[in-house]
């Protein structure tokens, strides 16, 4: 674990910690024989004020269960959670939180305006404020054109948008989104990504779970990776990703009688359309290879060092959490 072992999880006394999970665990008892299923097995991390925090993990890793415990929807079997310095569930803390559940289901007989008004009333907002915020949020999530349409006629992407709008009705300090990009097309994903970044710029704390890694790389200040109900890593992207070069990809164009240089040991040729592409292993003499190529009459098109990506880390951590693997 990079910086978030249970002992070093942010303490309540830390002023900038807005959300803290301390050894959270949840065991479900399923079926007639009450078979034990450990969905979350002691997760500890903290989210700091004003940051965008990504909560990553493969399907079934325990992300949604952890978020439900943080929101007070289910009770942990062990451990404790705090939001804004108060133990979950707390009415005062709830006033300052917005939450989008996974695959949200809403009252399908309501129109977006009615639904947002309902969400605002639950946050104790006066009628005039509710109307004003509903108008602004409908415009912000791009549902202005559908304000009179019942939610049952909404597409999955539109439901996701109205879900985010209801989470923001109370103008919360902390926004927790469970898989906000699910079911959205690329344009919708970009909209939500922009919205998350906008919330971050407005000083709000955003925590969202996902397994769409490019979105995380583009938006998050810090990430936590869970797999098999355990926290595998938590930290900034820079601290999670190794700066070490794993391999170097060289693309050459061979004109006329030019010949490619001999491949160094461990190198392999990559498919290329009208060019010669080669992957040189870590530690290979790239300079020497390029000199040889230029000396042989080739033109260098590109040289790209490949470092560890979030996907590499994610796959490694997810594999560590797969059934049958040794817990880290």
Partner 1 sequence: MRRIAAVARNTFREAARNKILYSLLFFALGLIISALALGQLSVHEDRRMIRDVGLFGVDVFSVLIAIFVGVNLLYKELALKTVYTILPKPIARWEFVLGKWLGVMATLVAQIVIMGLVLAATLMAEGGAAAVDAALAKALWLLLMNVTIVTSVAMFFSAFSSPFLSGLFALGVFVVGRSIPDVRALGERIGGGAGKLLGPPARCCPTCTCSRRRGRRWVGRRCRSMARSWGPAISDGPPCMR
Interface residue list for partner 1 (CB under 8 A): 68, 71-73, 91-92, 94-95, 97, 99, 101, 103-107, 109-110, 114, 118-119, 121-124, 163, 166, 170
Quote the distance between the C-alpha of residue 62 and its chain's center: 14
Angle between helices 112-122 and 127-140 (to 10 degrees): 130
Alpha-carbon distance of 112 to 162, in angstroms, equals 7
Tokens of 161: 């948008």
Q: How far is the CB of 56 from partner 1 (least distance, A)?
A: 21
Q: How far is the CB of 179 from partner 1 (least distance, A)?
A: 13
Output 97 or 318, the one with its CB closest to partner 1.
97
Output 103 or 325, the one with its CB closest to partner 1.
103
Output 124 or 287, the one with its CB closest to partner 1.
124
Output 23 or 90, the one with its CB closest to partner 1.
90
Task: Please state the three-class secondary structure of 300-313 as a single string.
Answer: EEEEEEEECCHHHH
Output 121 or 300, the one with its CB closest to partner 1.
121
Quote the distance between the C-alpha of residue 1 and its chain's center: 18
Output 175 or 298, the one with its CB closest to partner 1.
175
Q: How far is the CB of 23 from partner 1 (least distance, A)?
A: 22
Q: How far is the CB of 270 from partner 1 (least distance, A)?
A: 47
What is the DSSP secondary structure assignment for residue 173, as one 8-state letter? S
Q: How far is the CB of 220 from partner 1 (least distance, A)?
A: 22
Asked if the peptide bond before residue 139 counts as cis, ω within 30 degrees of 0, the response is no
Helix, strand and coil in the chain, % to nearest 5: 35, 30, 35
- Residue 196, Ramachandran bin (φ over 0: left; ψ between -120 and 50: alpha; else beta): alpha
Cβ atoms of 232 and 320 closer than 8 Å: yes
Q: How far is the CB of 172 from partner 1 (least distance, A)?
A: 10
Output 28 or 118, the one with its CB closest to partner 1.
118
What is the DSSP secondary structure assignment for residue 261, as one 8-state letter? P
Q: How far is the CB of 234 from partner 1 (least distance, A)?
A: 23
Output 73 or 286, the one with its CB closest to partner 1.
73
Q: How far is the CB of 143 from partner 1 (least distance, A)?
A: 16
Burial class (CB in 10 A: 0-12, 13-18, 19+), 109: exposed
Tokens of 29: 């008892």
CA nearest neighbour of 52 among 251, 291, 237? 237
Q: How far is the CB of 77 from partner 1 (least distance, A)?
A: 19
Helix (H) / strand (E) element for 66: namely helix 63-70
> Cβ–Cβ contacts within 10 Å for residue 275, how many?
15
Output 121 or 187, the one with its CB closest to partner 1.
121
Alpha-carbon distance of 207 to 48, in angstroms, equals 10
């Amino acid at each position: 674990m990079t910086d978030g072992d249970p002992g070093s999880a942010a303490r309540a006394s830390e002023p900038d910690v807005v959300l803290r999970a301390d050894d959270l665990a949840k065991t479900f008892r399923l079926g007639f024989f009450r078979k034990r299923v450990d969905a979350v097995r002691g997760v500890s991390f903290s989210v700091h004020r004003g940051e965008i925090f990504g909560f990553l993990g493969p399907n079934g890793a325990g992300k949604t269960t952890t978020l439900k415990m943080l929101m007070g929807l289910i009770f942990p079997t062990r451990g404790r959670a705090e939001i804004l310095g108060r133990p979950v569930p707390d009415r005062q803390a709830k006033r300052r939180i917005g939450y989008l559940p996974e695959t949200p289901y809403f009252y399908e007989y309501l129109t977006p305006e009615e639904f947002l008004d309902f969400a605002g009333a639950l946050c104790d907002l006066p009628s005039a404020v509710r109307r004003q915020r509903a108008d602004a949020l409908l415009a912000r999530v791009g549902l202005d054109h559908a304000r009179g349409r019942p939610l049952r006629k909404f597409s999955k992407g539109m439901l996701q948008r109205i879900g985010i709008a209801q989470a923001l009705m109370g103008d919360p300090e902390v926004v927790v989104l469970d898989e906000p990009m699910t079911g959205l097309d690329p344009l919708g994903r970009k909209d939500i990504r922009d919205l998350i970044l906008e919330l971050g710029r407005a000083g709000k704390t955003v925590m969202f779970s996902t397994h769409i890694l490019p979105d995380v790389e583009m938006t998050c200040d810090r990430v936590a990776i869970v797999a098999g109900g355990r926290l595998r890593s938590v930290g900034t992207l820079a601290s999670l990703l190794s700066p070490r070069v794993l391999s170097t990809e060289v693309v050459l164009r061979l004109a006329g009688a030019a010949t490619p240089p001999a491949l160094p040991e461990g190198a392999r040729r990559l498919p290329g359309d009208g060019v010669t592409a080669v992957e040189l292993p870590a530690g290979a003499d790239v300079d020497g290879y390029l000199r040889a190529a230029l000396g042989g009459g080739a033109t260098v098109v590109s040289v790209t060092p490949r470092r560890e990506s979030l996907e590499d880390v994610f796959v490694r951590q997810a594999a560590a959490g797969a059934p049958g693997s040794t817990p880290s």
